[in-house]
Chains A and B, each alone.
Chain A
Amino acid sequence: MRKLLAITGNEAIAYAMKQINPDVVAAYPITPATEIVQIFSQYAADGEVNTEFVAVESEHSAMSATIGASAAGSRAMTATSSQGLALMWEMLYIASALRLPIVMPEVNRSLSAPINIHADHSDTMGARDSGWIQIYCENAQEAYDSLIQAVRIAEECLLPIMVTIDGFIISHAMEGVETFEDKDVQNFIGKYKPAHPLLDINHPITIGAIDFNDYYFEHKRSQIEAMNKVEPVILKIAQEFNKTFGRSYGLFEEYMMQDAETAIVVIGSTAGTAKVAVNNLRKQGKKVGLLRLRVFRPFPAEKLSKALSNLKAVAVLDRSTGLNAYAGPVCTEVASSLYTNSEKKPKILNYIYGLGGRDIFVEDIENVYKDLEKVVKTGRTENLINYIGVRE
Chain B
Amino acid sequence: MPTLKELAKEQELLSGGHRLCAGCGASIAVRQVLLAAPKPLVVTSATGCLEVATTIFPYTAWEMPWMHSAFENAAATCSGIESAYESLKKQGRLPVDTKIYFITFGGDGGTYDIGLQSLSGAAERGHRMLYVCYNNQAYMNTGIQRSSATPKGGFTTTSPAGKVKPGKEQARKDLTEIMVAHNIPYVAQAVVGDWRDLTTKVQKALSKDGPSFINVLSPCRLGWGCAPEKTLQTGRIAVETCFWPLYEVDEGVHKLTYKPKEKKPIIEFLKLQDRFKHLLKAGNEALLAEIQEDIDKKWKKLLFLSGEKSE
Which A residues have a C-beta under 8 Å from some C-beta of B? Answer: 23-24, 26, 50-52, 54-58, 60-61, 64-74, 76, 90-91, 94, 98, 198-201, 204-212, 215
Contact = CB atoms under 8 A, between A and B. Distances in A.
B261 interface: no
A206 B118 contact: no
B87 A210 contact: no
B11 interface: no
Interface stretch (B56-64, B166-174, B179-187): B56-64
A74 B42 CA distance: 15
B310 interface: no
Interface residues of B, number: 46
A58 B115 CA distance: 12
Contact of A56 (B63, B69, B76, B88): B76
B40 A68 contact: no
A185 B280 CA distance: 72
A160 B56 CA distance: 25
A207 B70 contact: no
Nearest to B83: A52
A75 B81 CA distance: 11
The CB with the most chain B CB atoms within 10 A, among A23, A91, A200, A209, is that of A209
The 3 tightest CB contacts between A and B, nearest first, are: A68-B80, A57-B121, A65-B80
A292 to B, nearest CB: 35
B80 A23 contact: no
Contacts of B84: 23-24, 52, 68-70, 72-74, 76, 199
Given A23-B88, A70-B80, A209-B60, 9 more contacts: A50-B90, A57-B117, A61-B76, A68-B69, A91-B73, A94-B70, A199-B81, A204-B64, A206-B67
B67 A68 contact: yes
Given A201-B40, A210-B51, A56 B121 contact: yes
Contact of A208 (B69, B83, B85): B69
A64 B77 contact: yes
The CB with the most chain B CB atoms within 10 A, among A66, A76, A207, A212, is that of A207
Contacts of B42: 72, 198-199, 201
B44 interface: yes
A71 B42 CA distance: 12
A204 B87 contact: no
A55 B79 CA distance: 11
Contact of A206 (B66, B76, B80, B100): B66
B131 to A, nearest CB: 14
B56 A209 contact: yes
A74 B80 CA distance: 10
A58 B125 CA distance: 13
Interface of B: 40, 42, 44, 51-52, 55-58, 60, 62-70, 72-73, 76-88, 90-91, 94, 98, 100, 117-118, 120-122, 124-125
B90 A199 contact: no
A308 to B, nearest CB: 40
20 contacts: A52-B87, A60-B118, A61-B73, A64-B80, A65-B80, A67-B77, A68-B84, A71-B80, A74-B88, A76-B80, A76-B84, A90-B70, A91-B70, A199-B42, A206-B66, A209-B55, A209-B58, A210-B52, A210-B55, A210-B56
B55 A68 contact: no
A201 B65 contact: yes
The CB with the most chain B CB atoms within 10 A, among A71, A98, A198, is that of A198
B94 A199 contact: yes
Contacts of A66: 80
Contacts of A90: 70
B60 A68 contact: no
B57 A57 contact: no
A205 B42 CA distance: 10
A206 B121 contact: no
Given A198-B42, A212-B56, A68 B81 contact: yes
Contact of B79 (A68, A71, A98, A209): A68
B124 to A, nearest CB: 7
A91 B60 CA distance: 23
A66 B125 CA distance: 15
A207 B121 contact: no
Contacts of A50: 87, 90-91
A211 B80 contact: no
A68 B76 contact: yes
A70 B78 CA distance: 11
Contacts of A98: 69
A5 to B, nearest CB: 27
The CB with the most chain B CB atoms within 10 A, among A50, A208, A212, is that of A208
A26 B40 CA distance: 25
A68 B44 contact: yes
A58 B91 contact: no
